[in-house]
Amino acid sequence: MTRGPKPKSNAVRRNKHPHAQELTPELQPGRELPRALGIKTAGAKRFWETWTRAPQTVTWLETDWAELEVTTKLVDAFFQGDTKVAAEIRQRVAKWGATVEDRARLRISVKEPGTDEPEGDTPEEPPALTMDEELYRLLNTEAGEAHTRSSADSASG
């Protein structure tokens, strides 16, 4: 027997944060890399392209884009051999939700493709057998086969 009152039938999760974001996984149109930045390395250009097309950028303001420009300069320096900027880059991209852990901390989730579609004509899978039912079926099949084999052996002998 469980303790406490019976849960309400229409219970609602209360731990949903009011500022949580759910993003769609669609790539954004992106922005052109400003020539004035003077980016030289392919890695920094790839970094810019990746971040300008990321789903997070749908909510970005001009100040966020300015931060991306500064961070891209740091990434360019990193790819030119200045490894001292790696920690700064990591801190900056964490604030945008670069990894799964960062997005969880920021309460950002990415919607799985196809979750808004109604489940209409999907064929229903047969219910899975419980372990007991499976064991019963296997034992009866083996016992039946053994009985059939012994009957066939005695008839031919």
> pLDDT for 107-128, tens place per residue?
777 777 665 555 555 555 555 6
CA distance 49 to 33: 8
Q: Is residue 48 part of a domain?
A: yes
The tally of domains found in the chain comes to: 1
Q: Is residue 86 part of a domain?
A: yes
Q: Is residue 61 part of a domain?
A: yes
Q: Where are the alpha helices (DSSP H) in the chain?
A: 42-52, 62-79, 86-94, 100-105, 131-156
92: containing domain: 40-110
Crossing angle for the helix pair 86-94 and 62-79, to the nearest 10 degrees = 150
For residue 19, the Cα-to-chain-centroid distance in whole angstroms is: 20
Q: Is residue 135 part of a domain?
A: no
Predicted local confidence at residue 32, as pLDDT: 92
pLDDT per position as a tens digit, 124-153 = 555 565 767 777 777 787 655 655 555 556
| Buried b or exposed e, range 1-10, using 16+ CB within 10 angstroms | eeeeeeeeee
Q: Is residue 142 part of a domain?
A: no
Q: Is residue 63 part of a domain?
A: yes
What is the band of 79 on the pLDDT scale with cuts at 50, 70, 90?
Answer: very high
Q: Is residue 11 part of a domain?
A: no
CA distance 113 to 125: 21
